[in-house]
Amino acid sequence: MSHNPDPQKNVNLSINGLPVTVPEGTTILEAARKLNIKIPTLCDHPDLCRRALCRLCVVECDGRVKLVAACANDVWEGVNVVTNNARLVGIRRMILELILTNHPQDCLKCIRNKNCELQSLTEDFDIRSISLNMSTAKRFSTDESSQSMQLPEISGDTLVRNMDKCVRCGRCVEVCQEVQAVRAINSSHRSVLYEICTPYNQALDKGLCIYCGQCAAICPVGAIYEHDQSAEVIDRLYNSDNHVIVQIAEAAAALINDELGFPAGTVTCGKIISALNLVSSHKVFITGSLLDEIINESKGEILNRTRKKTGLPLIKSCFPGGIKFVEEFYPDLKDHLPAVNRQENDSWTLDKTTFSRNTGIDISRISTVSIVPCLAKKYNAQDSGVDYVLTPGELSRIIRKAGIDIASVPEAAIDSLRQAKDLQTHTPPLDFKTLVINGFANARVVMEEIKKGECDADLVVIMSCPNGCLYDQAGEA
């Protein structure tokens, strides 16, 4: 195996008797995928480095007794790889059964039911019950105290951690430490005592977590996930005494298609309005703010700072956790944050008091719901006047529970009721330069440049996702 692979050089090999040619430096797992051969894995992810923790992907190479992790080893010239035989299937079944031995058997109640990688693997291997004998299970189990059930931890009304369901794949640790460079999640101990934890085992909301949501996005099971508020919103919608105001970001509507398995463009804001009108009619819908509104809202302050020749670049974020990131890790850059309402959550643009005054509806009967593209916007939402923040996944659950065929409902008009402020009233400065940063590892680089006076941007916008914001992926930014 080459330590310095040359991507211009090809390697010839065979997998299960099928010849394939791939660039040098390709892993066995990647080569198998080129042939549409599925090798099971839990720890592998395209955005993360090679870890070989779960060992489900082990294969035989050239008939050797020693097995090789397909996700962490490159191919080499002439190697004959076997990915599936009785020996390998038996090993994989045992690994899955060992995981299930210490895993709650509550799939029907789990947030990841039918969208769980462990569940899919157990179905692939036709595991209906655990066949390990008691002595084998006991040998691989930890002490009795560590097996006690723990209550799920809800942090910041954003994330839920249920470590009883953790399969110790290490994905969340790497994305938090290496990809996002926040380090709010780590691991400790070894062997059967190995666990995923937080520094000093403190609650997530007591540490450095900025609630970017990447750990939840990358978790293969239901160990860490969004705080689901869909059931509470359904109760509000069904309550005739409650007036529900729902704000929809257009990018969130576009992402509903993925959640429901529809082609792009099938579900729109208008169809979502029609669908929710079938549940309840006491609502007003408004469109949510996008990246261009973040920029528009900043123009007046940038102009003022330009005149004073201080506090540039202005640092903003697509979600409140981005501001927390600056305050936690770069407190000397606080002067670069917005001067007013630094923790404002831009997922909500309507003031409940103003709406009550304009409509005559008692404020106690008003519930506000914001539908956003990602769970990062759930954090600190109540400080900006919104009662519930729903992701596309949560809204999809409401639609499914109501039995609505959203693809067939007609388009409905969108009310344009907005907060009493005009985003276009500020005079934009000339040559207004904006720098958009994807992810917090990249943000650290820019923050250091700002500290050194080497950043020439007028506005720096930190986006949560390291591979580009979901707004952009939905084609709405």
- Does 407 fall in a domain? no
Domain containing residue 195: CATH number:
3.30.70.20
Determine the residue type at 385: G
Domain containing residue 53: CATH number:
3.10.20.740
CA dihedral sign, ordered 260, 261, 262, 268:
positive
- Does 71 fall in a domain? yes
* Mean pLDDT calculated for residue range 166-185: 94
Query: Left if phi > 0, otherwise alpha if psi is -120 to 50, otherwise beta: which for 385?
Result: left
Assess whether 377 and 238 both reside in one domain: yes
pLDDT attached to residue 145: 41
Q: Which of 220, 253, 225 is nearest to 392 (CA)?
A: 253
Range of the domain at 201: 96-226
Assess whether 132 and 215 both reside in one domain: yes
Residue 473 binned pLDDT confidence (cut-offs 50, 70, 90): low
Tell me the C-alpha distance between 441 and 458, whole Å: 21
Question: What's the predicted TM-score (pTM) here?
Answer: 0.82
Strands (E), 376-433: 388-390
Assess whether 297 and 259 both reside in one domain: no
Asked if residue 199 lies in contact with residue 206, where contact means CB atoms within 8 angstroms, the answer is: no
> Per the structure, how many domains does the chain have?
4
Pick from 84, 106, 130: which residue ends a domain?
A: 84
Q: Which of 267, 270, 236, 238 is nearest to 254 (CA)?
A: 267
Assess whether 193 and 210 both reside in one domain: yes
Task: Indicate the DSSP class of residue 199.
Answer: G
Assess whether 171 and 107 both reside in one domain: yes
pLDDT digits (tens, 9 = 90+) for 309-358: 788 899 988 888 899 999 999 999 999 998 765 444 454 556 677 778 87
What the block records as the tokens of 205 is 């909301």
pLDDT attached to residue 417: 46
Asked if residue 279 lies in contact with residue 240, where contact means CB atoms within 8 angstroms, the answer is: no
Cβ neighbors of 100 (< 8 A, separation 6 or more) are 118, 122, 127, 130
Pick from 226, 256, 279: which residue ends a domain?
A: 226
Domain containing residue 365: CATH number:
3.40.50.1780
- Does 319 fall in a domain? yes
Assess whether 283 and 243 both reside in one domain: yes
- Does 448 fall in a domain? yes
Strands (E), 298-406: 314-317, 366-371, 388-390
Asked whether residue 240 carries a pLDDT value surpassing 60, the answer given is yes
Assess whether 130 and 190 both reside in one domain: yes
Assess whether 395 and 459 both reside in one domain: no
- Does 35 fall in a domain? yes
- Does 410 fall in a domain? no
Asked whether residue 35 carries a pLDDT value surpassing 90, the answer given is yes
pLDDT attached to residue 49: 87
Assess whether 305 and 445 both reside in one domain: yes
